[in-house]
Amino acid sequence: MFTSVAQANAAVIEQIRRARPHWLDVKPASSLISVLNQGKTLLHAGPPMRWQEMTGPMKGACIGACLFEGWAKDEMSALALLEQGKVNFIPCHHVNAVGPMGGITSASMPMLVVENITDGNRAYCNLNEGIGKVMRFGAYGEDVQQRLRWMRDVLMPVLSAALGRLERGLDLTAMMAQGITMGDEFHQRNIASSALLDAHVGAAYRPSGTR
């Protein structure tokens, strides 16, 4: 038990410093988070909230997730599901997960599996879609859906296979330390770390003897 806020803060900082997150795999969200198998359920960023309390971009992402999962055939039918309360919402943090921006995550979406090898605890995050029109900012058109399907059907198996060839996955702390020395700050600038990631994953995925 801590006797002061300063003492508690120091303990938290030490826990963060001790952690060694390793990226182990990429798997469908439903295989990692059991509540996503319970009917129409979406994860979201922030505290518990209802559809009516969500911002416009978050609502757009919910519509996109309904379309992606095949729960609705178009925007209006997705809106009807959401407005009638037929979709359950659970905060990402309640299931050891995080997500970019609105954090909307559905059962079929690929999720990163990251383990703190110091203590053995795991956390999950859906994949960043890149730039342009993206669901995390509320877009849900066919171009967005097409990219999400590609990430599920093509990118996820490739990343999973590559990471499976690494004994303990990718040491993210080591990669971040190297990226910082190369000018990255891990929010707006990730050029160096992206290049490092490509090098590690590419080398792991290529069969031996190939270039």
* Dist CA 207 CA 211 (whole Å): 9
Question: Which residues does 72 contact at the CB level (< 8 Å), separation at least 6?
Answer: 63, 66, 78, 80, 81
- Does 196 map to a domain? no
Total domains in the fold of the chain:
1
Q: How far apart are the first and last CA of the chain?
A: 55
* Dist CA 192 CA 57 (whole Å): 30
* Dist CA 176 CA 11 (whole Å): 23
- Does 115 map to a domain? yes
* pTM recorded for the entire structure: 0.90
Query: Degrees (nearest 5) of the Cα angle 49, 41, 110?
Result: 110
The tokens describing 119, both together, are 């203590």
Q: What is the pLDDT along the chain (211 residues), one digit of tens a residue?
A: 889 999 999 999 999 999 999 999 999 999 999 999 999 999 999 999 999 999 999 999 999 999 999 999 999 999 999 999 999 999 999 999 999 999 999 999 999 999 999 999 999 999 999 889 999 999 999 999 999 999 999 999 999 999 999 989 999 999 999 999 999 998 889 999 999 999 999 888 876 545 5
- Does 67 map to a domain? yes
The beta strand positions in the chain, using DSSP E, are 21-28, 41-44, 88-91, 97-98, 110-116, 122-126, 170-171
| Rg of the chain taking only CA atoms, in angstroms | 19
Tens-place pLDDT, residues 81-92: 999 999 999 999
- Does 209 map to a domain? no
- Does 111 map to a domain? yes
* Dist CA 203 CA 45 (whole Å): 34
* Dist CA 78 CA 96 (whole Å): 27
DSSP code per residue over 118-136:
TT--EEEEEPP--SSS-GG
Helix and strand totals (H; E) in the chain: 8, 7
Range of the domain at 33: 20-164
At position 205, the amino acid (one-letter code) is Y
Coil/strand/helix, residue 149:
helix
CA distances from 136 to 30, 95, 102, 139 (A): 19, 19, 6, 7
- Does 83 map to a domain? yes
The tokens describing 124, both together, are 């999950």
pLDDT value for 185: 94
- Does 174 map to a domain? no
- Does 81 map to a domain? yes
Decide: 42 and 87 in contact? Cβ < 8 Å: yes
Which of 43, 18, 49 shows the shortest CA–CA distance to 121? 18
CATH code at 35?
A: 1.10.10.660
